[in-house]
Amino acid sequence: MPDPALALEDLGRRYGEREALSGVTLDLAAGQTLGVFGPNGAGKTTLLRVLATLLRPHSGAARVLGAELPNASWQVRGKVGYLAHDPLLYRDLSVRDNLRFHARLHGLSNERVDEVIEQVDLTRRANDALRDLSKGLVQRAAVARAVLHDPPLLLLDEPRANLDPGAAKALEPLIGRPSGRTRVVVSHDVEGTLAESDLALGLKDGRQAFATTSVTAQQVRELYV
């Protein structure tokens, strides 16, 4: 039986004396989607940042794509696409120059950059500075950055934020279930995210409330009360 893409056991992370994440335990198979739910401050973004190797866990164990964190974080970084609230792009650079910068970090060609720009339908705006784009177009550029290196694991924080329905649908082959990638999706869209998730993780006050393949939308909403 193949190893899970994510294997977390009693995972924890602190900020000073405050526990931001505690007791997170789950397995997620390759190609599956984990939906992460909880109110603001529940630990959702902290979890994504730990999985992206941007934060070190302080307790428990985390195995991501076969690599132990934090000791083997270097094995993970080139295999993860992280779409955060912040687009992680330079506002004064054009879409194309931003993506070419990231392409060089991954040893990718300019042709790959142009291919992804076309996939997110930004060809006509590729030479515009990020600061001159609408929030929706910036989100498309951020998606392009996240998938540029064709990562097997996507960490998505409100991936459809600022996208109209047409744009969200157009990006599904890149960041949705049709991509075939393992995905961790943080979203306040309870029904939509549950529908696309194989496993649901509920967090409240940094602690795991549930990690299950079967949960109702009403049970998820109780986290926010």
The CATH number covering residue 171 comes to: 3.40.50.300
Q: Is residue 203 situated within a structural domain?
A: yes
- What is the three-class DSSP state of 212? strand
Q: Is residue 17 situated within a structural domain?
A: yes
What's the whole-model pTM score?
A: 0.95
Q: Which two tokens stand for residue 90?
A: 């330079």
Q: Is residue 168 situated within a structural domain?
A: yes
Provide the pLDDT for residue 136.
Answer: 96
Mean pLDDT of the chain: 95
Q: Is residue 1 situated within a structural domain?
A: no
Provide the pLDDT for residue 205.
Answer: 93
> Tens of pLDDT along 102-148?
999 999 999 999 999 999 999 999 999 999 999 999 999 999 999 99
Q: Is residue 11 situated within a structural domain?
A: yes
State how far the Cα of 13 lies from the Cα of 205, in Å rounded to an integer: 12
For residue 177, CA distances in Å to 58, 116, 151, 185 come to 32, 18, 14, 11
* Rounded percentage of the chain residues whose pLDDT exceeds 70: 100
* Rounded percentage of the chain residues whose pLDDT exceeds 90: 94
> Tens of pLDDT along 155-167?
999 999 999 999 9
Provide the pLDDT for residue 225.
Answer: 85
Q: Within its chain, how far is the Cα of 144 from the centroid?
A: 13
Count of the separate structural domains present in the chain: 1
Q: What is the mean pLDDT of residues 68-84?
A: 94
pLDDT at 208 over 90: yes
Provide the pLDDT for residue 3.
Answer: 85
CB 154 within 8 A of CB 81: yes
Q: Is residue 174 situated within a structural domain?
A: yes
Domain ranges, residue 189: 6-224
Question: What does the DSSP assignment read for 24-82?
Answer: EEEEE-TT-EEEEE--TTSSHHHHHHHHTTSS--SEEEEEETTEEETTTHHHHGGGEEE
Provide the pLDDT for residue 17.
Answer: 85
Provide the pLDDT for residue 144.
Answer: 98
pLDDT at 178 over 90: yes
Q: Is residue 106 situated within a structural domain?
A: yes
Q: Is residue 110 situated within a structural domain?
A: yes
Provide the pLDDT for residue 49.
Answer: 96
Provide the pLDDT for residue 1.
Answer: 66
Enumerate residues 6+ apart whose C-beta is below 8 A from 208: 22, 23, 24, 25, 201, 202
